[in-house]
Amino acid sequence: MNRTTPDDGDGPDARLRERELALERERALFAEGPVILFQWRAAEGWPVDYVSDNVRQLGYTPAQLTSGEVPFASLVHPQDLARVAEEVQRHTSAGRSYFDQEYRLIRADGEERWYYDVTHVLRDEEGRAIRYHGYILDITGRHLVEEALEDNMQELARSNAELEQFAYVASHDLQEPLRMVTSYLNLLQKRYGSSLDADAHEFIGFAVDGAVRMQKLIDDLLAYSRIGRKGMAWECVSLDEVFDAALADMQLQIADCGAEVTRDPLPVVDGDPHELRQLLENLIGNALKYRREGVVPCVHVSAEREARHWICSVSDNGIGIEARHQERVFEIFQRLHGRDRYPGTGIGLAICKKIVQHHGGRIWLESTPGEGSRFLFTLPVRNG
């Protein structure tokens, strides 16, 4: 038989030993790990009562800190000290039981390191803070990555702004020479038309075509680079009214292809009415252009609320877009067909994307080739 004494299995002594072992493990974990434990009194100068041995990673011994020879505040980076003191004060008086923050400490050898700090506030019966304890962890590596990321973002924003400025200036400056080409072609036709042969007329026709296409490209590029430029009016916009105005504008185009263009009740949003009109006109225009032969084009615009966003959609029963092209079409100059089949510059959907992003939304599409497409975009709900 297996006779067990009370001390052997799960008696009080065994439990005590288990607890000691656990404590030992915890101590070892902290002694060798990167987490430095601290305890300090809520008094002038933050006198340190206790600090774990691994504070040596900062180049100081625990005794140097607890004796006051090296005050904790003297380790904190001078640029962070006021902020750290303020945070401690703020959370303490707000009655928080713990809080966290990030700041730099300067090691004995002068190296700056970033630390993440979680501090618990110990209070007396009246709620006065008497002591703080907590831990700090070196997060310098993460901070370096974040800083590099931040630098990259700024660089990207700067080069984007430059590129947009370039597109704006270039398209603007291209208009004048283009106007010259067009007017001299006209003059040539008018003054020498009777003495030119059929070939010459054809060549002039090609040149005029080219100039017209170039004008369209410049117009679209200008429209693209104008989106989101400062000084735009931000107002309360009824999408119902925007839709009706767009439709009135497109009457001829709609009648030409015998299309049915309908809408559900649409929301009122905050935005730029001119841009939102462009957005709808581009999407409806595409729905009409990329229609299927022999089918009455049906275009429907609707909106549905989802949490803090409206999901608006423009659906058609046109030729559709294959899944592998569904992201590409939103990029500038990306077209899926030759100019001879469908005219266009490939800027329309890039304009739509920029407008939607400028309004704080996103745009995407769903489609079944040969059946139709549905372009969806979100717009934030008004007032938050």
Ligand X SMILES: Nc1ncnc2c1ncn2[C@@H]1O[C@H](COP(=O)(O)OP(=O)(O)O)[C@@H](O)[C@H]1O
Q: Which residues of this protein are in contact with Mg ion, per CB under 5 A?
A: 286, 348
Q: 3-state secondary structure string, 157-218?
A: HHHHHHHHHHHHHHHHHHHHHHHHHHHHHHHHHHHHHHHCCHHHHHHHHHHHHHHHHHHHHH
> Closer to ligand X at the Cβ: 353 or 359?
353
Q: Which two tokens stand for residue 114?
A: 């970033």
The entry of Mg ion, ligand X, none that residue 329 binds, CB within 5 to 8 Å by partner kind: ligand X
> Closer to ligand X at the Cβ: 273 or 372?
372
Length of the chain: 384
Which secondary-structure segment (H or E) carries 289? helix 273-289
Dihedral angle of Cα 206, 208, 211, 213, to the nearest 10 degrees: -70
In the complex, least distance from residue 383 CB atom to ligand X, rounded to whole angstroms: 32
Please, which of residues 286-315 interact with ligand X by CB under 6 A? Answer: 286-287, 290
The entry of ligand X, Mg ion, none that residue 303 binds, CB within 5 to 8 Å by partner kind: none
Q: Does 210 bind ligand X (CB under 6 A)?
A: no
Q: How many residues in the shown chain lie near ligand X by CB under 6 A?
A: 21
Please, which of residues 360-379 interact with ligand X by CB under 6 A? Answer: 373
CA-to-CA distance for 28 and 8, rounded, in angstroms? 26
Q: Does 259 bind ligand X (CB under 6 A)?
A: no
Pick from 58, 329, 355, 356 the residue near ligand X by CB under 6 A. Answer: 329
In the complex, least distance from residue 237 CB atom to ligand X, rounded to whole angstroms: 22
> Closer to ligand X at the Cβ: 280 or 329?
329
Backbone angles phi, psi at 139, to 5 degrees: -125, 25
By the 10 Å C-beta count (0-12 exposed, 13-18 middle, 19+ buried), 327 is classed as exposed
In the complex, least distance from residue 272 CB atom to ligand X, rounded to whole angstroms: 20
In the complex, least distance from residue 344 CB atom to Mg ion, rounded to whole angstroms: 5
In the complex, least distance from residue 184 CB atom to Mg ion, rounded to whole angstroms: 30
| C-alpha closest to that of 90 among 46, 116, 129, 133 | 129
The entry of ligand X, Mg ion, none that residue 316 binds, CB within 5 to 8 Å by partner kind: ligand X
User: Residues 48, 66: contact at Cβ < 8 Å?
Assistant: yes
Pick from 239, 319, 363, 379 the residue near ligand X by CB under 6 A. Answer: 319
Residues at the interface with ligand X (CB under 6 A): 286-287, 290, 316, 318-321, 329, 334-337, 344-350, 373
